[in-house]
Amino acid sequence: MFDVFAKYLTDKITLSEPELTQISSVSVIRKLRRRQYLLQEGDVWRHYAFVCKGCLRIYRIDEEGNEHILKFCIENWWAGDRESLLTGKPSRCFIDAIEESTVLLITKENFNSLCNEIPVFGGLVNELLDRTYIASQERIHVNITYTSEEKYKDFIEKYPDISTRVPLHMIASYLGISAETLSRIRSQNSKK
Amino acid sequence: MFDVFAKYLTDKITLSEPELTQISSVSVIRKLRRRQYLLQEGDVWRHYAFVCKGCLRIYRIDEEGNEHILKFCIENWWAGDRESLLTGKPSRCFIDAIEESTVLLITKENFNSLCNEIPVFGGLVNELLDRTYIASQERIHVNITYTSEEKYKDFIEKYPDISTRVPLHMIASYLGISAETLSRIRSQNSKK
DNA sequence: GTAAAACCTTGATTTTTATCAAGGAAAAAT
DNA sequence: ATTTTTCCTTGATAAAAATCAAGGTTTTAC
């Protein structure tokens, strides 16, 4: 499974064999069955995690026990709870696998070493963070601006690959609307 | 006005006199009157901007002409459109002053040089970016989880200083609810 | 292969929120 | 100081969305 990560990296940056070996040596592959947790609320998240295969979700549970999905992570995406990672505080999130999945884990310490020792790697990570931040600003904009229907359209446009493999009620949770409302939006759209 | 920025920096990191002088030499002070634009949609944003005094807002305008406020920036906050800054593309945002304000501008190029040449400065910036990202994740969570009333309560709790100096309808815009609804929420709360 | 669980849809009803409209208070501009 | 603009509130109404409930389908687990 390391080859998936290697391909992801070498598609974007040039790495020597020793560098790839170095990255490989600190990478740990972890398989997850459906519904299996990668992180539970209260635990401290200490890794960087790259999804080689499958689909995860990051979510929080409110006082009434309702789940609210912050993010879906499919192949070639990064997963994790950056807040817990950076602050060292217990996470408020759960991460679990929606499908049988494989993730590649690198501890924070090893990851930082890689960033320092392999500058192009560090550069890639910074670029990724930039893009992630921009995407989160965009999501805030969508959230405060769009109607439920527009939010759904925007979602399937931005994430066509996710919208086909994730249950509807999870998309509703991600968008912050009820599953019933989303079901009705979808059926109305298909009539047009 | 540079002293406000100098204090902000030296409260967090240790800087030598020459370093402060170096920072000062690339800083440009700009005064803004009420409603004056710092950035208009379509322009490329090329700076880092630190608010020394006053209050700005960053917002977008939708097809129907409605404003949606992405962020308020008061003293000791950073303003700008990171998307345009990093991509070099025309901004989709407006930034203007809600009050008479003073901002300190540093061009992207000079700013990057400072980060490289003064490592503690770069470190501070990275930390700031981390916290900003975490805050944006938190805002997304609030958006998809909370009711309008809870969103408002959360806002005045997180930003008591902003909530007292910004018009109500702008807070409504920031939260993604109508001004009338927010007015009613507030009057109901005060009855309790 | 079958039972159980998860998922989606639809209807009826209630709750929440937006919209439209108008009046008054407060603040800004000159 | 006064006019103008902005801002806030309140009411009435319409629209949107949540909730409750139930039935049917699909998928998963064993």
Distance B94 CA to C7 C1' (A): 43
- Measured in angstroms, what separates residue B166's CA from nucleotide C26's C1'? 14
Q: Is the pLDDT of residue A191 over 70?
A: no
Give residues 7 to 46 of A whose Cβ lies within 8 Å of B.
Answer: none
What is the reported pLDDT for B189?
85
Q: Does residue B136 sit at the A interface (CB-CB below 8 Å)?
A: yes
pLDDT band at B192 (very low <50, low <70, confident <90, very high): low
Q: How far is B134 from chain A (nearest CA, A)?
A: 6
**Sorting pLDDT into bands at 50, 70 and 90, what band is B31?**
very high
What Å distances lie between residue A92 and A62, A89, A144, A172, CA to CA? Answer: 10, 9, 23, 20
Does any strand C atom come closer than 7 Å to the Cβ of B36? no
Interface check B94 vs A, CB under 8 A = no
A186: distance to nearest CA of chain B, Å?
A: 19
Please list every residue in chain B whose beta carbon sits closer than 8 Å to the beta carbon of residue A143. Answer: 140, 143-144, 176
- All residues of chain B having their beta carbon less than 8 Å from the beta carbon of residue A173 are 144
Average pLDDT over residues A95-109: 97
Strand C at less than 7 A from CB of A143: no
Q: What confidence score (pLDDT) does residue A27 get?
A: 98
Query: What pTM was computed for the model?
Result: 0.95
Encode pLDDT of B130-172 as tens digits.
999 999 999 999 999 999 999 999 999 999 999 999 999 999 9
* Contact yes or no for B82 and A137 at CB 8 A: yes
Q: Does A158 touch chain B (CB under 8 A)?
A: no
The DSSP annotation for chain A comes to -HHHHHHHHHHHS---HHHHHHHHHT-EEEEE-TT-EEE-TTSPP-EEEEEEESEEEEEEE-TTS-EEEEEEEETT-EES-HHHHHH-PPPS-EEEESSSEEEEEEEHHHHHHHHHHSHHHHHHHHHHHHHHHHHHHHHHHHHHH--HHHHHHHHHHH-HHHHTTS-HHHHHHHHTS-HHHHHHHHHHHHH-
Q: Is A82 within 8 Å of B174 when comparing Cβ atoms?
A: no
